[in-house]
C-alpha cells in the first residue's frame, strides 16, 4: 500500500469502522439487558391483568358483605332470626355460595347455619373455625381499625373455600362465614371478567395447586405453560395463569433478539461493503492519478524527441553546412518522418480527449473492409519494408460490406499496426488478414513481437495503461492507442479479442457483426 493510500484509508477506517464496531459491540452487550428489561415490563403488564381479576373478586366480596350487613341490621344483629327464606333471593343470585354461617364469637356458642347445598356439617365447620382462630382474631383487630376484610380460611377441601368476615355496628359484631363452591364461582362469577381481561391476545386459566382442578376458557392453549402465574387472592389453593396465544413470551423475546442481531449484522455488512467500495474507488483514483502523471511525462518525452530532431536538422540545413544532395535528402526525410510522428501523437491525444468528453461522433456507411485495409497497407508498405519489416496482407475476396466509419476504423487499424511494429523485436513480421466466418467479417493484425502476458491482457485497453516491464520500457507511447481502438470498435458494434504469447507475438482479432446482407 503506498503512503497516499495509507493516509486516506487509515482515517477512513477510524471515522467509519471504529464507531460502527463500537456501536455494534455496545448493542450486542446491551441486547441481553434490553431484552431482560422488556421481559420485566411485559411480566409486570401480565401481572396487572391478573391483579384486575383479583380486584374484581374483592368488589364482589364487598357487595356480598354489604347485602348481608343490611339483612343483619334488619334484625338488629340478632342473626338467629335470619331465615333461609329471607336470604333466598341473594342465594339464588349467587349460586356459588353453598352455606352461610353466622357466629357470635370465637367460642362458637351461638350460631345460625343457612345451608344452600353444602355437604359440610356443624362439627367439621367448628374444626375449621378453631384451626383458623388466629386469622379471625386478626379480623377483629382490623375491624377496630375500621377495616372490614374478607379472609379466606385454611382447610383441606379443594372444592369449596370458606371466607370469613366480621360484620358489625357500634354495639355488636357477627362473624360471618361464607362457604363458596369454587367451580361455580370461577365458571359463573369470574368467567366474564377473565374473558374480558384476556381479550384476543391472551389466554387466562385457573388451576388448583394440586393440578387436579383446572378451568380453561380457551382450548387453543391446552397443555401450554403460562408466561406468568399469580395466586387467586380469594382461593389460596388456586392460581391464575396467563399466556400469549400463538407464541410464548420467551419465543417473542427470542424473536426480537434474533431480529436485532440480524439488523446489526446487516448494518455491519453494509458498512464493510461501503468501506471496501470506497477503498477500491480511492485506490483506482490514486492509480489513475499516478498513470496520468506518467502519461504527462511520457507525452512530454514523446514530443520532445521529434521536436529536437526537427529543429536540429532544420538548423543544420538552414546554415547551409550540408554539402551533399544525398545527405540533404536524408535530413528532409527525417524532418518529414518526425513531423508525421508528432502529428500522430497530437491526433491521438485529440481523439482521446474527444472520446473522454463524449463528443466523438461517427458517420457510418456500408464499406468494403478490404478497401480500407488495402489503402492503409499501401500507405505503410514502403515505410515498414524500409525499416526491415515483412508486411503481408491476405484478403478474402468478395466479402460483404460492413457498416463502418472508414476514417475512424482506419485510425484504429493504424494504431494496431503501429503497435505491431513498435512491439516487434528480432522477427519483424506483420500480417493483416480479412475473412468471413459464419455471418461475421474478421480482421486480424498479427505480429511476432514481444507478446502480452495474461495479467496485462485484461488491462491493455484501459486508458493510459502501458506494460511497465521489459522491452516496453524503452518503447515510446502514450498508453492511449488501444483505448481509442476499443472505443472505435465498440461504436461499430464490433468486438476485439487478443491472442498473445509472451515472446511469440500477438494477434488482435476484430469481428464485425453489422454486415450488409
Binding site for ligand ADP (CB under 6 A): 415, 419-420, 422-423, 447, 449-452, 460, 465-467, 472, 477-483, 506
CB of 476 to ligand ADP, least distance (A): 7
CB closer to ligand ADP, 391 vs 423? 423
Chain-centre distance of CA 513, in angstroms? 43
Cα separation of 131 and 153, whole Å?
A: 9
CB closer to ligand ADP, 236 vs 470? 470
Query: 231-266 burial, b if ≥16 CB within 10 A, otherwise e?
Result: ebbbbebbbbbbbbeeebbeebbeeeeeeeeeebee
Cα separation of 439 and 516, whole Å?
A: 10
CB closer to ligand ADP, 443 vs 452? 452
CB under 8 Å to 149, separation ≥6 — which residues? 139, 142, 165
CB closer to ligand ADP, 128 vs 450? 450
- By C-alpha distance, which of 366, 346, 481 is closest to 412? 481
CB of 406 to ligand ADP, least distance (A): 21
CB closer to ligand ADP, 189 vs 506? 506
How would you classify the pairing of strands 429-437 and 390-395? parallel
CB of 480 to ligand ADP, least distance (A): 6
The distance in angstroms from the start CA to the end CA of the chain is 54
CB closer to ligand ADP, 80 vs 290? 290
Cα separation of 378 and 465, whole Å?
A: 30
Distances in Å between the alpha carbon of 268 and those of 225, 258, 289, 373, 517? 38, 15, 31, 57, 56
Distances in Å between the alpha carbon of 81 and those of 72, 73, 76, 228? 9, 11, 10, 47
Q: Is 175 exposed, middle or buried (0-12, 13-18, 19+ CB in 10 A)?
A: buried
- Neighbour count for residue 380 (Cβ, 10 Å): 19
CB of 387 to ligand ADP, least distance (A): 16
CB closer to ligand ADP, 241 vs 481? 481
CB of 418 to ligand ADP, least distance (A): 7
CB of 269 to ligand ADP, least distance (A): 38
CB of 388 to ligand ADP, least distance (A): 17
CB of 372 to ligand ADP, least distance (A): 19
Q: Is 39 exposed, middle or buried (0-12, 13-18, 19+ CB in 10 A)?
A: middle
CB closer to ligand ADP, 302 vs 401? 302
Cα separation of 327 and 307, whole Å?
A: 20
Cα separation of 206 and 71, whole Å?
A: 33
CB closer to ligand ADP, 3 vs 474? 474
CB of 379 to ligand ADP, least distance (A): 19
DSSP three-state, residue 503: coil
CB of 475 to ligand ADP, least distance (A): 7
CB of 346 to ligand ADP, least distance (A): 14
CB closer to ligand ADP, 152 vs 505? 505
Sign of the CA dihedral with 342 first, then 344, 347, and 348 last:
negative
Categorise residue 140: left if φ over 0, alpha if ψ from -120 to 50, beta otherwise: alpha
CB closer to ligand ADP, 152 vs 481? 481
User: HSE-up of 22 (CA within 13 Å, CB side)?
Assistant: 6
CB closer to ligand ADP, 152 vs 449? 449
CB of 460 to ligand ADP, least distance (A): 4
DSSP three-state, residue 94: coil
User: HSE-up of 282 (CA within 13 Å, CB side)?
Assistant: 18
Q: How would you write 232-294 as a 3-class SS string?
A: CCCCCCEEEEEEECCCCHHHHHHHHHHHHHHHHHHHHHHHHHHHHHHHHHHHHHHHHHHHHHH
- Neighbour count for residue 76 (Cβ, 10 Å): 10
Amino acid at each position: 500500500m503506498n503512503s497516499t493510500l495509507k493516509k486516506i484509508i487509515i482515517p477512513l477506517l477510524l471515522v467509519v469502522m471504529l464507531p460502527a464496531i463500537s456501536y455494534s459491540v455496545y448493542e450486542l452487550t446491551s441486547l441481553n439487558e434490553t431484552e431482560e428489561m422488556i421481559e420485566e415490563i411485559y411480566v409486570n403488564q401480565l401481572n396487572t391483568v391478573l391483579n384486575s381479576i383479583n380486584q374484581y373478586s374483592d368488589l364482589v366480596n364487598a357487595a356480598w358483605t354489604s347485602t348481608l350487613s343490611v339483612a343483619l341490621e334488619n334484625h338488629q344483629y340478632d342473626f338467629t332470626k335470619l331465615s333461609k327464606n329471607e336470604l333466598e333471593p341473594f342465594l339464588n343470585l349467587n349460586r356459588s355460595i353453598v352455606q352461610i354461617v353466622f357466629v357470635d364469637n370465637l367460642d362458637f356458642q351461638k350460631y345460625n347455619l343457612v345451608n344452600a347445598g353444602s355437604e359440610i356439617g356443624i362439627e367439621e365447620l367448628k374444626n375449621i373455625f378453631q384451626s383458623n382462630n388466629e386469622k379471625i382474631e386478626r379480623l377483629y383487630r382490623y375491624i377496630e381499625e375500621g377495616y372490614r376484610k374478607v379472609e379466606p380460611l385454611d382447610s383441606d377441601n379443594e372444592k369449596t373455600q370458606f371466607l370469613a368476615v366480621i360484620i358489625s355496628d357500634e354495639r355488636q359484631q357477627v362473624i360471618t362465614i361464607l362457604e363458596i363452591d369454587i367451580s361455580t364461582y370461577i365458571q359463573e362469577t369470574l368467567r366474564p371478567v377473565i374473558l374480558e381481561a384476556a381479550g384476543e391476545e391472551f389466554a387466562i386459566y385457573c388451576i388448583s395447586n394440586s393440578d387436579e382442578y383446572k378451568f380453561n376458557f380457551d382450548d387453543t392453549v391446552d397443555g401450554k405453560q403460562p408466561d406468568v402465574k399469580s395466586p387467586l387472592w380469594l382461593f389460596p389453593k388456586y392460581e391464575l395463569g396467563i399466556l400469549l396465544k400463538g407464541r410464548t413470551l420467551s419465543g417473542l423475546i427470542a424473536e426480537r433478539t434474533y431480529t436485532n442481531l440480524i439488523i446489526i449484522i446487516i448494518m455491519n455488512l453494509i458498512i464493510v461493503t461501503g468501506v471496501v467500495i470506497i477503498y477500491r474507488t480511492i485506490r483506482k483514483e490514486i492509480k489513475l492519478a499516478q498513470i496520468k502523471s506518467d502519461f504527462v511525462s511520457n507525452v512530454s518525452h514523446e514530443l520532445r524527441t521529434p521536436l529536437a530532431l526537427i529543429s536540429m536538422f532544420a538548423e543544420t540545413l538552414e546554415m547551409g553546412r550540408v554539402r551533399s544532395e544525398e545527405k540533404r535528402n536524408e535530413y528532409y526525410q527525417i524532418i518529414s518522418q518526425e513531423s508525421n510522428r508528432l502529428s500522430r501523437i497530437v491526433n491521438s491525444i485529440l481523439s482521446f480527449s474527444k472520446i473522454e468528453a463524449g463528443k466523438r461522433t461517427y458517420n457510418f456507411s456500408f464499406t468494403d473492409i478490404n478497401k480500407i485495409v488495402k489503402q492503409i497497407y499501401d500507405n505503410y508498405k514502403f515505410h515498414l519494408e524500409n525499416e526491415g519489416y515483412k508486411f503481408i496482407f491476405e484478403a478474402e475476396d468478395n466479402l460483404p460490406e460492413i457498416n463502418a466509419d472508414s476514417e475512424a476504423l482506419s485510425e484504429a487499424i493504424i494504431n494496431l499496426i503501429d503497435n505491431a511494429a513498435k512491439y516487434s523485436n528480432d522477427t519483424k513480421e506483420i500480417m493483416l488478414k480479412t475473412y468471413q466466418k459464419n455471418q461475421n467479417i474478421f480482421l486480424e493484425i498479427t505480429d511476432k513481437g514481444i507478446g502480452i502476458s495474461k495479467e496485462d491482457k485484461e488491462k491493455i485497453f484501459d486508458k493510459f495503461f502501458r506494460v511497465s516491464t521489459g522491452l516496453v520500457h524503452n518503447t515510446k507511447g502514450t498508453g492511449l492507442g488501444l483505448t481509442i481502438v476499443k472505443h472505435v470498435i465498440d461504436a461499430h458494434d464490433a468486438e476485439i479479442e487478443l491472442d498473445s504469447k509472451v515472446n511469440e507475438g500477438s494477434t488482435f482479432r476484430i469481428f464485425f457483426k453489422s454486415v450488409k446482407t
